[in-house]
Amino acid sequence: MTLPGRLSRPLSAAAALVAAALAATALTACAPSTSSAGAAGGDERTGRLRVWLFREVDNGPKEAVVGKSLAAFAREHRGARAEVTYIPVETRAQRIKAAFNDPRSAPDVIEYGNTDTAGYVRDGGLADVTADFAAWPEARDTDPAARRSVTVDGKVYGAPLFVGVRALYYRTDVFRELGLRPPRTQDELARTARRIHQERPELYGLVVGGSYTYGALPFLWANGGALAEKKGRKYTAAVDSEAAKRGITAYTALFGEHNCPPAKCAQMGGNATVEAFASGKAAMAIGGDFSHRAVENGKAKGRYAVVPLPGAEEGSIAPAFAGGNNIGVLKSSSHRTLAVELMRTLTGKRTQSGLFDAMGFLPTYTDVRREAARRQPYAEPFVRTLAAGAAFVPVTPAWGAIDAGQVLPSMFQEIVSGRRSVDAAASAAAKKMNSAFRAAG
């Protein structure tokens, strides 16, 4: 799951990164075959279905929406009942992989983070629901970025539940007092940040984090760069390309005494940058739609607005990482048809609309999302960002090793600390990524 960047871990060596990728490969000797109504676990049409969903910090509203969906499912499927267990996000990897290895204790339906898709497919745990997804009328309104998050090698392994993207939060009172406008390019963003910090040295102009991967990637993508290139079924790192390095330079140039000192900002992740803005310590921050409540509960309440993060050219919007969660059916389920129906119920338009109202989760359907933004105007900049075109990480189990190995944060931190040049740090990161890609097969 890749919404807010949750945890910072110590820097891993390249060898540890490769070992992590090899371990993932060893767990997944066989890719799953195409599932059908006669899946490996069977296809009973009555009985109990077990569901694992993620437990949120404030889980009550989610439980209420899910409860209504399960009641509707029970009315439509006599003799079937669904029981939900809410599991901690932090332990999801261990629990879900254990379930893949022990079908007797495994659920029928799970919620999972969208960057986990490729790894779970390689583990052989998720059922191929390509035909079911294609035959589902509501799925036609799923946005392309969300559809990519459930697709591996052209096959679909679940349905998107919600999507999350980041945009630019800014302090309207500071901008008004200094006679500033919301920046329209990334160059103007940098100039505005420097001007604010010069005039208000107690504030970060734009708070940034060396461990904030998903806040940094829009700069790489907006400058024409990519994380990796795919040829056939294999990925090759592209963070050392000239275009990618332009974006890396644009992001790391925001660190310094002129805006966000490395001593304070190099170790920051996404949560820390949002907290700095919410607490009144920054005039701008890159935050998600999922950051709205935190900002509303902070000192910035009533004194901020949000616009899409600008791109390199005036009038453009920087591509944002499309985070979010999906719902999938386990290949081992003995209730395949019912499990697919339950997946559709839990990710359908009615449920997604309810989760937006209750939790602020952005719907993955373009029509439902437009209606959500009409009801709650704060969502409009995020909807515009998605409409402009969101991006995603390489769909490969290797990404889990790259992410866990802190490859990109280490690259950013080496640059902002002065330990390495952009060229040297990007080259080292590319080598680590390529080791992970090779190990994953």
- pLDDT tens column, 268-284: 999 999 999 999 999 99
pLDDT at 40: 57
- Residue-range domain boundaries for the chain: 31-164+322-388, 166-320+397-440
Any residues with CB less than 8 A from the CB of 15 and at least 6 apart, and which? Answer: none
| Residue whose structure tokens are 């939900």 | 84
117-156 residue pLDDT tens: 999 999 999 999 999 999 999 999 999 989 999 999 999 9
298-345 residue pLDDT tens: 999 999 999 999 999 999 999 999 999 999 999 999 999 999 999 999
**Total-model pTM:** 0.85
- In CATH terms, are 31-164+322-388 and 166-320+397-440 the same topology? yes
Mean pLDDT in the chain? 90
Contact 77, 338 (CB under 8 A): yes
pLDDT at 278: 96
The burial class, CB within 10 Å (0-12 / 13-18 / 19+), for 90 is exposed
β partners of residue 401: none
Alpha helices for 200-269 (secondary structure H) = 213-222, 242-252, 262-265
Q: At 100, list the tokens.
A: 């893949």
Distance, in Å, from the CA atom of 62 to the CA atom of 165, rounded to the nearest integer, reads 20
- Asked if pLDDT for residue 18 goes beyond 70, the answer is no
List Cα–Cα distances, 189 to 272, 381, 411, in angstroms. Answer: 20, 17, 22
Helix, strand and coil in the chain, % to nearest 5: 50, 15, 35
- Match domain 31-164+322-388 to its CATH number in 3.40.190.10, 3.20.20.410, 3.40.50.2000, 3.30.1280.10: 3.40.190.10
pLDDT at 11: 38
- Asked if pLDDT for residue 202 goes beyond 50, the answer is yes
pLDDT at 233: 85
Distance, in Å, from the CA atom of 204 to the CA atom of 214, rounded to the nearest integer, reads 19
- pLDDT class of 41 with cuts at 50, 70, 90: low
DSSP 106: -
Phi, psi dihedral angles at 141 (to 5 degrees): -95, 5
377-389 residue pLDDT tens: 999 999 999 999 9
Question: 166-320+397-440 adopts what CATH topology?
Answer: D-Maltodextrin-Binding Protein; domain 2 (3.40.190)
